[in-house]
Structure 1
């Protein structure tokens, strides 16, 4: 009887003990830092601002001579000072229902213009609101501009939290997006996290000439694989055969493996795990977000093998 009870206890407790051991060792296994020795760095653009600031310090302190930022399409989200705007040239003319998520300081607002027609002239409030209109025919260019402020100030007046056409993120439909100013000066906007990360690294002191944005357009099923695949093409074009990937915390091993798969054999791929305050070795098990972050990476570990199998079964064309 005692032997049977003992066996039953191990049947129940054994898997739990094994799971606990696996999870306890998972953090150091996943959050690896193993630089390649190369002076080329790839920065994953989807990371939070604190991680991008740490990446900027890494670039400046470690003497990287070329930096690539990667990233998939981001929400159409921008802060605009008074009088500033965004122009969007669509990949193909579109029509149908259009929604603008906007908020701002009291007394501010925006204009939405499509192919020269004013569709919305709307005051905003501090609380985000969704404003709706319709593109009455196939239109190819949109312009959203914050109302001018007197006296003019450079601080943000409104926040555009999103624009959709037919329920689709405008950044998925755009061919080109740029900021506009009252003096007609223009500069490229950030339809993907690659461009927004580049802008942030420059703001943190990285020379603009060092940083190249490598956007991944479309809607890849895996954000990291989309980034890695886009960079793999760029690396082959630029003759890059050794580089490091800067990513956050326990995402490090999966990122390195997917980038390694994307560039193919013969390349040296290093990795640097940046700080994730919510999932450190000391605190990940103390919070729900820490558990979710770690378990997500444990579950995502086989992704590289899945990509390899898919590439073997259906090798890329061209």
Structure 2
């Protein structure tokens, strides 16, 4: 995993194009106002979109990693959301300037003999560049794509036209939910045999995790839009954090996060979602044992204790030493 820099650069880009790609979904094409090349990225990456109204939201990149002239994201209107998607749909227009942070990647495409991609709704966005990359490599793959209705499924026609033998479309109003029992019935021999990639609503992710319980460790890769239901569970006791570069020791009380305490002390650190899903506040752990409560790191990554998300995670040891 790549650790985000504490001084991650930001760019002011222009909305060059805004288009409807499905019912309730718009795609934004962002370009540099001077036509300069944009940061390189790999399939699975996302960026922070800093909207003109001050809201910050994370969106997966769904364009072509080889095209550095533009970055593309697709945004679902979420009626019950906190206002970010409504702003994108109702207010943001072509010619508007928006700031980005990133890209960063907590959902990288690993090398495997074959791939099974499972997408639900707008969860197709990080999967789309993966499909293109794997298809270009000649490796074996299949995409099962579910959605409420055909008209709500972004990039459906493009996928079917490009990969008719590899893509299966499952509108729920026609066929019901994805048949995970069949799709996940045959585990690979090891994690490099068959890699399973899944992105979508929490109900789909939880169901896929249950069906993959018998699969080899490391075979399943998921990306969440919201924190796990159990992510915040666990004791909340005070502990100390030592900021190695700042030369300070701070006490984190039970009622506050590491992030809040570090910010209150005036130490700069990047953050965004503050719920353990975006990975912006990822921080290197130099000593101590983190109590991981995020929804980003895999079990294997948590076991190494090399990094942690300081917006939600706490400490299993009396003191953590962080690279801050």
Give TM-score, length-normalised by structure 2. Answer: 0.20
**Structure ranking higher in helix proportion:** 1
Q: Whose relative contact order is higher, 1 or 2, with alpha carbons under 8 Å and at least 6 apart?
A: 1
- Looking at CA atoms only, which structure, 1 or 2, has the larger radius of gyration? 1
Give TM-score, length-normalised by structure 1. Answer: 0.20
